[in-house]
Amino acid sequence: MTPRSVHIVGTGLIGTSVGLALSGRGVTILLSDRDPARVRLASELGAGRPVDGGSGQRVDLVLICVPPSEVATELIRVQNLNLGVIYSDVASIKAKPQQEAQRLGADLSVFVGGHPVAGRERGGPAMARADLFLGRPWVLAPTPETSSAALEAVRALVAECGAVPVELDAGAHDTALALISHTPQAVASLLAARLTDTDAATVQLAGQGLRDLTRIADSDPDLWAQIAYGNARPLAAALGGLAADLARLAAALDAGDEQGAAAFRAVVAAGNAGRARLPGKHGARAARYATVPVVVSDEPGALARLLVHAGEAGINVEDLSLEHSPGAPVGLCELFVQPATADALAAVLTERGWVVHHAEGADSDG
């Protein structure tokens, strides 16, 4: 059932990474790309061997790793050449390419849409990693015509890459991505955009919260224009919903201080609940880590020393965040650890001379 031969069309980050992941598992990989330099690099990295001529032998599975807008025409092309038994793609938008493929007359019984959700990818075969998909969700979006054999073959391929198959239909996928990926991008960009006509004194007052919320506002406008193009309607719905939520909260605040405060309290409480649903590490539900805040001087090696001391105590730091005050020679580093280890970590660090703050309940004088 697992495909033993795969033709990867498009040797960018995703295509090359799939090649690396499968080559290591004994699968025969053929590589092609309209750019011969990319195929050569992918092949040299060990992702497979370039096809000779335009086609190559017929394989168990053809994986189309091209931009969303080119998936449908590429599917038609490789099906016309009869390059494979089963076909899949990796584009981050699913409904539109599928509709286009249907319109163009592709054989959808042997096609399964796919989308490896592999984090913030940067481009090109040189960035490829055999472990890119380890433990990451990989959405499988079968068409209504897709045969169960085709679905099982692609599912096996995804598992072979170390990813976690998640079956969703194309529309549900696009709606989900609109909410959890495309809407956050819009919000971050709009918030950051508000700073362009804000006076410098105001901008100067910005703290870590605003920084967290606008980090992804550094993204590439052209890349996002493509995504918006491919997912316009679901994204419009998600943004419209959030706009209505915001307008409702604004109206409550306008109606009076008491009403506004009550509405704001309810929103923050609902946010607490929603946040708790985000997956934590290792696929578990979000663990509420304990925080150990430590003062760290802003010089080479200071943060390293801190983590060495934590490591020597055998305590795994799950995450950390740095808070910099403009102009300050010291920063506050918050170490996130399993709650059971927080006290021990604080004790060890204090003993090693670190200034460890002890978190208490929120104070009302801030």
What letter represents residue 164's amino acid? Answer: V
C-alpha triplet 18, 20, 26: angle, nearest 5° = 100
Q: How far apart are CA 217 and CA 219, in angstroms?
A: 5
Q: Residue 285 Cβ, how far from its own copies at the closest point, in Å?
A: 10
Q: Residue 248 Cβ, how far from its own copies at the closest point, in Å?
A: 9
Among residues 330, 346, 226, which one has the least CA distance to residue 293? 346
Smaller CB distance to its own copies: residue 147 or 208?
A: 208
Q: How far is CA 312 from the centre of its chain?
A: 32
* Residue 93, token pair as written in the block: 């938008």
Among residues 110, 15, 97, 5, which one has the least CA distance to residue 59? 5
Q: Residue 45 Cβ, how far from its own copies at the closest point, in Å?
A: 12
Q: Residue 91 Cβ, how far from its own copies at the closest point, in Å?
A: 8
Smaller CB distance to its own copies: residue 152 or 323?
A: 323
Smaller CB distance to its own copies: residue 53 or 361?
A: 361
Q: Residue 363 Cβ, how far from its own copies at the closest point, in Å?
A: 2
Q: Residue 339 Cβ, how far from its own copies at the closest point, in Å?
A: 14
Q: Residue 33 Cβ, how far from its own copies at the closest point, in Å?
A: 10
Q: How far apart are CA 4 and CA 276, in angstroms?
A: 41
C-alpha triplet 331, 333, 334: angle, nearest 5° = 145
Q: Residue 288 Cβ, how far from its own copies at the closest point, in Å?
A: 8
Smaller CB distance to its own copies: residue 81 or 247?
A: 247
Smaller CB distance to its own copies: residue 32 or 183?
A: 183
Smaller CB distance to its own copies: residue 4 or 233?
A: 233
Cα–Cα distances in Å, from 309 out to 13, 35, 315, 334, 363?
A: 37, 49, 9, 15, 30
Smaller CB distance to its own copies: residue 4 or 194?
A: 194
Element (H, E) at 185: helix 183-193
Q: How far is CA 18 from the centre of its chain?
A: 17
C-alpha triplet 243, 247, 251: angle, nearest 5° = 175
* Residue 111, token pair as written in the block: 């096609």
Smaller CB distance to its own copies: residue 156 or 176?
A: 176
Q: Residue 167 Cβ, how far from its own copies at the closest point, in Å?
A: 8
Q: 293 has which bridge partners?
A: 334
* Residue 132, token pair as written in the block: 């890119």
Cα–Cα distances in Å, from 93 out to 61, 62, 231?
A: 20, 18, 7
Element (H, E) at 258: helix 257-275
Smaller CB distance to its own copies: residue 15 or 84?
A: 15
Among residues 173, 144, 193, which one has the least CA distance to residue 235? 173
